[in-house]
Structure 1
Amino acid sequence: IRDPPKPAPKVQAPKPTPAPMPMAINDPTPAPNAPTGVTTPQPPAPPITEPVAAAPAPAAPPAPPAPPKIEQPSSDAAYLNNPKPSYPAISKRMGEQGKVVLRVLIGTDGAPQKVEINKSSGYERLDRQAQEAVMRWRFVPGKRNGVPEAMWNLVPVNFVLE
């Protein structure tokens, strides 16, 4: 006569995790076609190797939106063919030279909508000539997130006697 099998050591359940973990349970009822009177210990269930999904992290507050990508207007593109302003004849004779910085509002179509003097050359004739020329120029419009938008841009115009 055999000694009854020793009970298997109790497996302590792991601390509760967010995702339920399937466990194998020994069924004490014999199979319908199993011989009676003979008890054999069942081998321990193989460990379950399926990964358990981690608990979803608490939703983080939404990140602030990225700053909009801004592309400034441009007049450098070669295909725009913006000619230099003509030098006023009287300014040439009087030896007037200087740099005018214009503040230009460039529309979504690339056309100047408004031209203001940001910094004068010191000579009204040169300033006026620069304004008139730039009003005829065409620009690549500024863009915000890829969409054309009217923007102000500084445009320097140099008058240098050669």
Structure 2
Amino acid sequence: MGEAPAQATGNPVASNVELRINARFDAAHLRNSPPPYPQASRRRGEEGLVILRVRVGANGRANEIEIAESSGHERLDRAARSAVANWRFEPARDGEHAIESWVRVPVAFRLERS
């Protein structure tokens, strides 16, 4: 009679693969406060979305911040950059090791209408 089919044990391919996980800023335990709305911008009705490009160190701190996309208002861009400079991040991981990486951080400024 024929031989029984071979049975795989484990997954040898997956066991050698290290997972890379991107840096994060949105985890609730990080307690990152939104930037304060600049009063001059509030009075002038300035709104916008700032996209920051942040180099996050293995220690979870912002090592470098660039404006990837401006809100169109310098005050809002500065406020976003200043706030994110003090944020904590979950650093990227290569397997179990924290590594430096870049992450895009959107910061929205919207006035409430009553």
Superposition TM-score tier, normalisation by shorter sequence: 0.7 to 0.9
1:111 maps to a residue whose letter is R
Compute the displacement of 1:146 (Å).
Answer: 2.0
Measure the CA separation in 2 of the matches of 1:68 and 1:94: 50
Measure the CA separation in 2 of the matches of 1:140 and 1:157: 18
Query: What residue in structure 1 maps to residue 73 of structure 2?
Result: 123
Query: What residue in structure 2 maps to residue 109 of structure 1?
Result: 59
Classify the secondary structure of the residue corresponding to 2:104: strand
Number of residue equivalences = 98
Q: Percent identity?
A: 44
Query: What residue in structure 2 maps to residue 138 of structure 1?
Result: 88
Q: Point out which structure has higher relative CO (alpha carbons under 8 A, 6+ apart).
A: 2
2:91 maps to a residue whose letter is P
1:48-98 CA-to-partner distances (Å, cap 9, x unmatched) read: xxxxxxxxxxxxxxx8xx664210111111111100000000000111000
Measure the CA separation in 1 of the matches of 2:94 and 2:46: 40
Structure with greater proportional strand content: 2
Q: TM-score, normalised by structure 2?
A: 0.82
Q: TM-score, normalised by structure 1?
A: 0.58
Give ranges in structure 1 of 5+ residues lacking alignment: 1-62
Give ranges in structure 2 of 5+ residues lacking alignment: 1-12
Structure with greater proportional helix content: 2
CA-atom RMSD in angstroms: 1.3
